[in-house]
Amino acid sequence: MTTIFDERQCKLGEGPLWHPERQQLFWFDVLNKKLMSRENGTAKSWEFDEYVSAAGWVSKTELLIASASKLFLFNLDTKTSMKLCDMEADNRVTRSNDGRADPKGGFWIGTMGIEAEAGAGSIYRFYKGELRKLFSGITITNAICFAPDGNKAYFSDTDTQNIQQLMLDDQGWPTGTPKLFVDLTGDNLNPDGAVVDSEGYLWNAQWGANRVARYSPEGQFVEEISFPAKQISCPAFGGAELQTLFATSAAVDLSGVDEGKTFFAQTGTRGQLEHRIIL
């Protein structure tokens, strides 16, 4: 059974992050340029001057946040920001989209065209102060997540309706070329954000399908959790036992009462702790 976690309707809810030290969920309303949360039952938000879409945790008070033009450190207590590096700052066509910290302390972040321009996006990794481009020519970057053994990464170009798997070296850098993990073209499904649980199963939000679907480490469909919002955008595990699956959604182009809200469902599966970013 799914339950509403936050009633606020996001135009484009994205990037849920369970902060393990704060025991608190953060997420974004990308198109309204907001970071959102709930603390002790109270709704909170922080507004920025450009699109923000994804984050990782650095300390109890600091998040690394990806915006349209940079990666920056944001202090939740003082509400102050410090730029870490530019990211496509000279490209007015793109913004950040999906991202997640990896098991080695790096942060992967994808970009995309603001109007989903074909092939405008890339995927980067920020690791120990260096931002390096990994892939380019992507239309809608999504599904960035990591196997618990730290040896595999996943990502998607939603436009292709495929999820790719990639091997990693002992420093967390890609080795070889991506290979097909899940092909959703036959079912006409659109992969959005994803997370991997502690057993190595991938949970993928599927835009337009009201669901998060679970796939085995071999890429086989196992089960789904259905939600009342059509455009489910990204899942995250959290809660005291990491068995609560949170999911963001988007109200853009829709008028339903539940569209854009943030949900949760209890599962019998334990997620992974979100990895800490090492600056």
Write a three-state SS string for 95-117: EEEEEEECCCCCEEEEEEECCCC
Rounded-to-integer distance, Cα 225 and Cα 114, Å: 29
- Per DSSP, helices labelled H in 88-203 are none
Q: Is 29 a catalytic residue?
A: no
pLDDT score of 236? 98
pLDDT score of 252? 98
- Tell me the percentage of the chain whose pLDDT exceeds 70: 100
- Overall average pLDDT of the 236-247 stretch: 98
Q: Which amino acid is at 7?
A: E
pLDDT score of 188? 98
Predicted confidence (pLDDT) at residue 1 exceeds the cutoff of 90: no
Instruction: Give the residue from 259, 255, 205, 204 showing the smallest Cα distance to 230.
Output: 259
- Overall average pLDDT of the 7-27 stretch: 98
90-145 confidence digits (pLDDT tens): 999 999 999 999 999 999 999 999 999 999 999 999 999 999 999 999 999 999 99
Quote the mean pLDDT of the chain. Answer: 98
Fold of 2-266: Neuraminidase (2.120.10)
pLDDT score of 203? 99
Give the CA angle between residues 124, 129, 130 to the nearest 5°.
40
152-171 confidence digits (pLDDT tens): 999 999 999 999 999 999 99
Catalytic choice (29, 98, 157, 192): 192
pTM greater than 0.75 (yes/no): yes
The secondary element (H helix, E strand) that includes residue 201 is none
27-74 confidence digits (pLDDT tens): 999 999 999 999 999 999 999 999 999 999 999 999 999 999 999 999
Break the chain into its structural domains and give their ranges.
2-266
Q: In the numeric block, which tokens belong to residue 140? A: 């809608």
Q: Could you tell me which residues are beta bridge partners of residue 246?
A: 236, 264
Rounded-to-integer distance, Cα 198 and Cα 195, Å: 10
Q: Count H helices and E strands in the chain, helices first.
A: 0, 24
